[in-house]
Amino acid sequence: MGTRGRLITLEGGEGAGKSTQTATVVDWLQGRGRRVLRTREPGGSPLAEAIRALVLGQWDEGVTPQTELLLMFAARAAHVAATIEPALARGEDVVCDRFIDASWAYQGAGRGLDDGVLGTLETLVLGRLRPDLVLLFDLPPDIGLARAHRRGKGNRFEAEDLAFMTRVRQGYRARADADEDRYALIDAAAAPDQVRDAVRRVLEQRL
Ligand code: TYD
């Protein structure tokens, strides 16, 4: 039996440049001869992508925090079963643009949902699976929101205010502070090529 792949996730608030840096991580791993699967959340399997359209969409009736939480975890359950676990079992490294930490930061710290409930869903959906390395792209929320608005994709989260994004940032940073072995904090306010160099340095040190 071959060795399992590693799960590497990229996290951060709106406008942190994660999607660009996901390619940096993939290139770095492939350059070292690894087989890599690139994926994202919410989404990453056909069923999970269908749920993504629902949870990021605008609904006249509104979306309660509870609905949002359950859809995020429903998508994750499908994604883990259909995409992530099989790839790790085949020995591929999985690079995922957002994962479980986004639920702790957005639904937990951002929406104020209960830690106990999140922990129960985490155990239900992930079992013992956790990222081997989390790259946290940290930047002041005013800069992030300004970038996101310039890009103008306009999902429900980009319409959130500064107070919400400040709570999200604090939520992410608290998780990174509590587990320095698994998390790496990256200054995402820097220029893109500097951020890319910082990402490569972290990968050299940690993988
Ligand atoms: P996306 O357009 O992929 O945003 P980004 O480019 O910033 O990653 O939209 C994903 C949104 O979903 C993002 O605003 C964060 C949110 N989200 C949660 O609230 N909880 C979660 O568990 C996940 C995975 C994402």
153 CA: nearest ligand 1 atom:
2
What's the rounded Cα separation, in Å, for the pair 73 and 92?
23
* 202 pLDDT above the threshold of 90: yes
Q: Nearest C-alpha to atom 4 of ligand 1 is from which residue?
A: 14
- Return the CATH class of domain 7-206: alpha beta
The pLDDT tens digits for 108-161 are 999 999 999 999 999 999 999 999 999 999 999 999 999 998 987 678 898 899
Measured from CB, residues less than 6 Å from any atom of ligand 1 are 14, 18-19, 41-42, 56, 72, 97-98, 102-103, 106-107, 153, 155, 157
16 CA: nearest ligand 1 atom:
7
pTM flag (> 0.85): yes
Least confident of 43-47, 99-103, 145-149, 197-201: 145-149
72 CA: nearest ligand 1 atom:
22
The pLDDT tens digits for 46-99 are 999 999 999 999 999 999 999 999 999 999 999 999 999 999 999 999 999 999
Q: How far is the CA of 41 from the centre of ligand 1 (A)?
A: 7
The pLDDT value recorded for residue 153 is 64
Residue from 122, 157, 169 to probe ligand 1 pocket by mutation (most atoms less than 8 Å from CB): 157
